[in-house]
Amino acid sequence: MKIAIDHKSPVPLHIQAEQLIRKMIEDESYQDGKVLPNEVDLAKILAISRSTLRQAINKLVFEGLLVRKKRVGTKVNKVQVSSKSNNWLSFSQEMKLRGIKIRNFELHVTWVYPNETIANFFEIKSDRKVLKMERLRGSMDEPFVYFESYFHPRVGMTGDEDFKRPLYELLETEHSVIATLSKEEISALEAEAQIAEKLRIPIGGAVLLRKRFVYDQGERPIEYNLGYYKAKSFTYTLESRR
Amino acid sequence: MKIAIDHKSPVPLHIQAEQLIRKMIEDESYQDGKVLPNEVDLAKILAISRSTLRQAINKLVFEGLLVRKKRVGTKVNKVQVSSKSNNWLSFSQEMKLRGIKIRNFELHVTWVYPNETIANFFEIKSDRKVLKMERLRGSMDEPFVYFESYFHPRVGMTGDEDFKRPLYELLETEHSVIATLSKEEISALEAEAQIAEKLRIPIGGAVLLRKRFVYDQGERPIEYNLGYYKAKSFTYTLESRR
DNA sequence: ATTGTTCTATTGTATGTACATATTAATTGG
DNA sequence: CCAATTAATATGTACATACAATAGAACAAT
């Protein structure tokens, strides 16, 4: 394992430390209750100050991943919800896994003023335009999902990118942006006229809405993504343990 | 309001600060979006160091109560309902977190022959009856979710259990069955007559279907659960990292 | 053997300092 | 007047330091 922190990297040291610790505690011995190195030593090992290390650990403690105890040390919390099976695949990869060949029906790129939700998520003012990408995708026969993606200006999208490539690969190679964290919200709703038309279903037909909030290594927002899936064409699966 | 921090008190300064800020932002003007005093000033006012103050503010930011923005300031966050309960919670617990009081509309327990899906999952023959529990639950006003649960004969359910108790607690104390693994499938669909009637929505209205396959410690199947959620009454949230 | 005491390792609390970064506001140049 | 530049201001990052509190371990006293 690489236990190095890059002091020259633009991503903050405490974030790097946080990610390192996440990796570190995936190890079985930690899962079984071994205490991790004490703060003073660990700070020395990572070559950062104790305060900075504590910043990282604090976050994981708050998340419930770690527990600290005076004079004892810091351990991995037992009641852990291992969401390991969350692979994080691109849409094309996901579909490939399911043996579905993808066809792109529409692709539309524009610059728009963000609505309140987006401006808030991006932490920008709403008079600053962001790149919006719309996509209608599906099987060879028919579209079954409509995507709406918004990119933070920081990413540096031009709109001329080759969107046929996997998106996260594109972000990485073209813009040096590495998507590492995704928060999702899944719900059902009835299709409005615009969506219904695109997905070729009656107005009011059931749709699965998957909102994704995507962050980079520095946990800064980079993409806001809405996916409207035609009912029954998509199932979200996950495992949790306690 | 008392805007004083007691340096002699045994309760840590950052905790005192946290509580003070909580009180402070109960004020309407803050709820409406006024920024609170900047860190440097506020630290001066409270007579504590900026680091200590940040410790307090950080906690509230983690909690989602406050949001910070560079050059702008720190504000009270808009109330968001999406609890990030990736944890394993019972329905009642989940709803409690969201501040919703639960009402049980219907509860029905029967013994039925399992259909193919269930028999397969339980790895039993379909001429062996299993306990089926149906439940219609919701807010005080109206039902918004319909559950269908099937229990493996191995669990030893009688049907006379007190189903008002949290289910997984009941399984544990009454039948020594500990649910440890849950595989879920989430999809959207259009309500059939029976479901539509129960949820008081038109036939064909959007419903979120959450299938749960629950296993015990030995990874043996113990429960099959179907949850039909009225659209918009439920959002599934999760985080994933790579 | 149990109870009490002291030692010590580890996290907890608290401060001060310095510079970085992002964004609004003011200023300047054409 | 408008665009580009600069300044000002808020949070963000990072470090060094000092002492407090807690809990377990070792040891001593009864």
For the segment A166-211, what is each residue's pLDDT rounded down to a tens digit? 898 888 888 888 888 888 888 999 999 999 999 999 999 999 999 9
Residue B139: which residues within 8 A CB-CB, separation 6 or more? B100, B101, B102, B103
Highest mean pLDDT among A140-144, A145-149, B237-241: A145-149
Predicted confidence at residue B56, as pLDDT, reads: 92
Q: What is the mean pLDDT of chain A?
A: 86
Kindly tell me if the per-residue pLDDT of B118 is higher than 70: yes
Q: Identify the residue whose Cα has the smallest distance to the C1' of D9.
A: B71
SS3 A229: strand
Distance CA A216, CA A177 (A): 7
Cβ B8 to strand D below 7 Å? no
SS3 A56: helix
Q: What is the mean pLDDT of chain B?
A: 86
Cβ A8 to strand C below 7 Å? no
For chain A, domains (ranges, CATH) are 13-76 (1.10.10.10), 91-230 (3.40.1410.10)
Cα nearest neighbour of A54 on chain B: B55
Predicted confidence at residue B97, as pLDDT, reads: 53
Distance CA A228, CA A206 (A): 10
**In terms of pLDDT, which residue wins out, A54 or A238?**
A54
For the segment B218-234, what is each residue's pLDDT rounded down to a tens digit? 889 999 999 999 998 78
With beta carbons less than 8 A apart as the criterion, state whether A183 and A211 touch: no
B59 CA from D15 C1′ (Å) = 22
The residue of A186, A214, A229, A234 whose CB has the most chain B CBs within 10 angstroms, and thus the best one to mutate to test that interface, is: A186
Highest mean pLDDT among A82-96, B69-83, B217-231: B217-231
Kindly tell me if the per-residue pLDDT of B82 is higher than 60: no
Token reading at A123: 């932490």
With beta carbons less than 8 A apart as the criterion, state whether A238 and B238 touch: yes
Token reading at B225: 């659960």
Token reading at A207: 């749709």
Q: What is the maximal distance between C-alpha atoms in chain B? A: 75
Q: Within an 8 Å CB–CB cutoff, is residue B71 touching chain A? A: no
For the segment B6-34, what is each residue's pLDDT rounded down to a tens digit? 888 888 999 999 989 988 888 888 887 78
pLDDT band at B179 (very low <50, low <70, confident <90, very high): confident
Residue count of chain B, please give it. Answer: 242
Predicted confidence at residue B81, as pLDDT, reads: 39
Cα nearest neighbour of A179 on chain B: B242
ipTM of the complex: 0.77
Kindly tell me if the per-residue pLDDT of B137 is higher than 80: yes
| Tokens 């989940």 sit on residue | B94
Per-residue pLDDT, averaged over B147-163, amounts to 94
Cα nearest neighbour of B168 on chain A: A242
Nucleic strand C contact set for A 97-136 (CB, < 7 Å):
123-125
Token reading at B155: 């669990």
For the segment A103-132, what is each residue's pLDDT rounded down to a tens digit? 999 999 998 888 878 887 887 777 778 899
Give the whole-number percent of chain B exceeding pLDDT 90.
50
Buried/exposed code over A150-186 (b: 16+ C-beta within 10 A; e: otherwise) = bbbeebebeeebeeeeebbebbeeebebebbbbbbbb
Per-residue pLDDT, averaged over B121-136, amounts to 94
Distance CA A26, CA A22 (A): 7
Number of Cβ within a 10 Å radius of residue A64: 13
Q: B237 vs A186: CB contact, 8 Å cut-off?
A: yes
Q: In this structure, what DSSP letter does residue A142 have?
A: -
State how far residue A134 is from chain B, nearest Cα, in angstroms. 22
CA B124 from centre of chain: 32
Give the whole-number percent of chain B exceeding pLDDT 70.
90
Distance CA B207, CA B197 (A): 12
